[in-house]
Every structure is written in structure tokens, then in C-alpha cells.
Amino acid sequence: MMNTIFPEELSEGWLIICIDDIIVCSETWENHLSKLERVLQKIVHVNIKISLKKCHFAYSELKELGQVVPGLSLGIDKNKVAEVLLKPMPQTKKEMQSFLGFAGYSRQHIKDFAKIAKSLYKLCDQQRFYEMTEERVKAYEELKNSLTNAPFLLMPDWKLPFKLYIDACGEGLGGALHQT
């Protein structure tokens, strides 16, 4: 529903909607006030009720669903990563699935995520959870390292061109839209 109310704002790249949460990203205070006014006018126009107790205005950075949103970028919440890093190596299928769930949620920040995690997913597909092989331990450590060093992703500038990068190999195919 929210996507139908704010299509222009979403396509301009400064509005993030996550279920019923709205995040307005801005570069300057004046720009933020202008965007916020635009969003609030639409909320009033379509008669959406909001709870002021749950609203947070004019934060330079906020945390939302394991992500950090500082200005016009998106990063992984380091506190969430720290929780994962403090846990010992997964010993059960359920523990590995939990780790892969967290890592997978942050996959857009991890280069070659599918390639790195492949052996760990295979481990979870098996009927029994076998011991970690050297390859799987290496993949697990590489994912943990990637999570701790994950880059912040910038919101796109819709006025600049994009490049489509594609990759295909015997194991799969993928694509990513980049902006330089």
C-alpha cells in the first residue's frame, strides 16, 4: 500500500519504506524539511493515522531492522554483527540456518555472497548435520569477516547513469546494478 502512495518519492531514491515504517533520507536540513513536508502532506491527504509516540524526526542516523541508515546510505548495524560474532561456530543445523539467515539478510553488502555461502547452505540441505569441513570453516569465517567489514551502500542518484554487471558460471548467474 505504501508503495502506491509514494511512487515518486521512492523512484527519486530518498524514501525508504519497510512495511509500515517510512524513512526520509536527506543531505541537508533544508532538504530534509522539504521532503518531510511532502511526505506528511501525502499522509494527511490519504488519511493515514500515525502515532507521534512512534515517530522519530531529524535523526542524523537511525537503526531499522538490523540496518543503519545514516543520511543517504545504508549499512549493517554493527551491534547485530557483534552479537553474531560472539556466538561460537554453529554446531547444529538450526544454528547454521540462523547464521545464514542473518548473513543472507545482509547479502547486498557482501561481495560474492552466494559463492561464499554455497557450502554452508549445502550443509543445511543434508538430512544430518555433518561436521564442518575445512572448506566450510573457511566459508563461515569469510562470511563473518565480510559482515564486520561490510561497506555502506549509497542511495542511487537517479539523474546519473547506471551500469548493469552480470556474471554467469557453471554454478549460477547473477546481476547487479551499479552506479559510479
Q: What is the pLDDT of residues 6-32, one digit of tens each?
A: 988 888 877 877 777 788 877 788 888
Quick check: 123 and 42 in contact, CB under 8 A?
Answer: no
Domains of the chain from N-terminus onward:
2-58 (no CATH), 75-148 (3.30.70.270)
- How does residue 2 score in pLDDT terms, banded at 50, 70 and 90? confident
Single-letter amino acid code for the residue at 153 = L
For position 38, what pLDDT does the model report? 94
Percent of the chain clearing pLDDT 90 (strictly above): 13
Q: Which is more confident, 172 or 123?
A: 123
pTM exceeding 0.75:
no
CB 150 within 8 A of CB 103: no
Q: Name the range with the highest mean pLDDT among 8-12, 39-43, 74-78, 160-164.
A: 39-43
Q: Is 178 helix (H, G, I), strand (E, B) or coil?
A: strand
